[in-house]
Amino acid sequence: MALDTNLREALTDSLESFRADLSPDGPRTPQAPPDRGLRAASRLSSAHLRTPENSTLMRLCNALTRGELTAEELVRDLLTRADALDPQLHAYATRFDALALRAARRSDQQRRTGQVTRTLHGIPVAVKDVLSTQEGPTTANSGVSAVHLPAGEATAVRSLRAAGAIVLGKTTTMELASGMPDLHRPDQVPRNPWDTSRWTGGSSSGSAGGVAAQLFPAALGSDTAGSIRTPAALCGVTGFKPTHTPRLLTGCLPLSSSMDSVGPIAGSAIDCDVLLDALIPARPPGHESVSLDLKGTRVAVERSRFHAPGIDDDIQTAFQSALQTLTDQGVQVDEIVLPHYESLQVAARVIWTADAVARYGRYRAGLTEPTRDLLSVGEMTSGADYALAQQSRRWAERVFTDLLTPYVALLSPTRTCLAPEVTDATIDWQMSAHNHTAIWNLVGFPAVSVPMGLSATGLPIGLQIVGVRGADRQTLAVAAHFQSMTSWHRARPPVSYHPSPAREHA
């Protein structure tokens, strides 16, 4: 089956325009603006920002170490909060109350006997219901049992437990992490804590919504085309997609293995960096730094792309304000052009939807309507389309690496529209050109979404910070420095929480 007319025209036009660049004799990398003697991109650190003031996880660790609270008390408090708020928010798919409390008591006993050597000892987390856990099957919010993962332990989950974390439960995802809610099951659609008539975004919906509502201080998500960064942006939290790391995908239900990533969602970039230390203990060399601030560094933007018709005015204003904040701190903001950007968005869509069809197409009859709609896009892709999209991907990885290496980061809005009403969360919204996240899955670059403002109606707006492949620590350092200049990540949604006598969680 061939691509529909609009998609085919977009892909054909993009690949025709690629041909000159793909040719050995054609033009290669667009030139970055002159350096002007500014510092190289690999000389930035946020180590001095790793303080309890900037990190919820470090504050909790300090409180546990000082005996100001116990892990059991912390877990009970969070479960009680979830009792009150989650019936409205639907952040949890499954809770492990008894097992989490047992783990908390064990953590407290280890602390009393001086057996604490782990960075996340006693810290509660939640994990997206596409990551296998020893507590039971992983369903990915699908009624098709054939796609479920048996009880086990995903590499990412095992890594957090090895660092001392306590898993509270599994968070709600869209079916198969495909990104779209089933509006025929409204009681299972995660609600945005900033406005419960609106969606969280997906597909790491419960992870982002739960962190925003303070049901847990951190969570794991997965991201194939923006599924960590989109809900993080719409819920006003920080979400990080690492450099494509196949090792972290072991035990994760796949959507598109070449574009999938597993990463953290938390209250700040420093928290995400702390979690990344547990997930990827051996960091790639070459990104340790000697610089403690952003002054004199360069960031790249493509302003014209984010000041165009159809982009929410509040997002344009917030983005301009974020750039001004950086400029005021001595950062040079350089205008660049990302070649074939729209075409590469199409290529990303072709690859991940076709991969999803290859893995789940046989189960189509039992899947929800939104998932079937997404599979329909992949079913319109021919083998030739797929091969050409993969060719464009290899071109883009090389060209974007050369183009962005002189910078500490590329900046853009995470999404150029606000959180939709639940009833507007359709495939048209998902597939819109407003999505500026999938292209970084295509090339495997690290990217983080951080809060950069609120709309006039009080909805969060996200800033996306992108680095080159392997520059995970630096990308998070840029995010941490931005958050040290702003306070948007400290804003809290207006959820009403009135503690009542706790139900028995033992």
**Axis crossing angle, helix 56-66 with helix 71-89, rounded to the nearest 10:** 140
List the structure tokens of 41: 């991109």
Low-confidence ranges of the chain (pLDDT < 70): 1-43, 282-292, 307-309, 427-434, 498, 500-506
Rounded CA-CA distance 316/497 in Å is: 33
- Write out pLDDT tens, residues 250-299: 999 999 999 999 999 999 999 999 999 999 976 554 444 335 689 999 99
* 5-29+37-490 topology per CATH: Amidase signature (AS) enzymes (3.90.1300)
- DSSP β-bridge partners for residue 195: 192
**DSSP summary character for residue 68:** S
Run of H or E residues at 395: helix 383-404
CA distances from 75 to 64, 93, 171, 238, 426 (A): 12, 17, 16, 22, 36
What confidence score (pLDDT) does residue 424 get?
83
What's the pLDDT at 500?
A: 60
Judge contact between 124 and 166, C-beta under 8 A.
yes
Task: Name the pairing type of β-strands 460-466 and 409-413.
Answer: antiparallel
For residue 489, what are the β-bridge partners? none
| Helix segments in 411-467, DSSP class H | 427-430, 438-443
| Identity of the amino acid at 377 | V
- The residue type found at 399 is V
Instruction: Kindly report, residue by residue over 150-178, the tens digit of the pLDDT.
Output: 999 999 999 999 999 999 999 999 999 98
Query: Contact, 264 vs 293, CB < 8 A?
Result: no
The pLDDT value given to residue 183: 84
What the block records as the tokens of 379 is 């079913």
What's residue 287's pLDDT?
Answer: 42
pLDDT at residue number 284? 53
**pLDDT in the model for residue 288:** 45
Q: How much is the pLDDT for 43?
A: 59
Could you tell me the pTM of the whole model?
0.93
In degrees, to the nearest 5, what angle opens at C-alpha 268 toward C-alphas 328 and 409?
Answer: 50
**For every residue of 4-33, which 3-state class applies, written as one string?**
CHHHHHHHHHHHHHHHHHHCCCCCCCCCCC
CA 341 vs. chain centroid, Å, equals 20
Alpha-carbon gap, residue 71 to 38, rounded angstroms: 46
- Give Rg (Cα) of the chain: 22
**Residue type for 356, please?**
A
Tokens representing 302 are 């493509």
Catalytic residues: 128, 203, 227
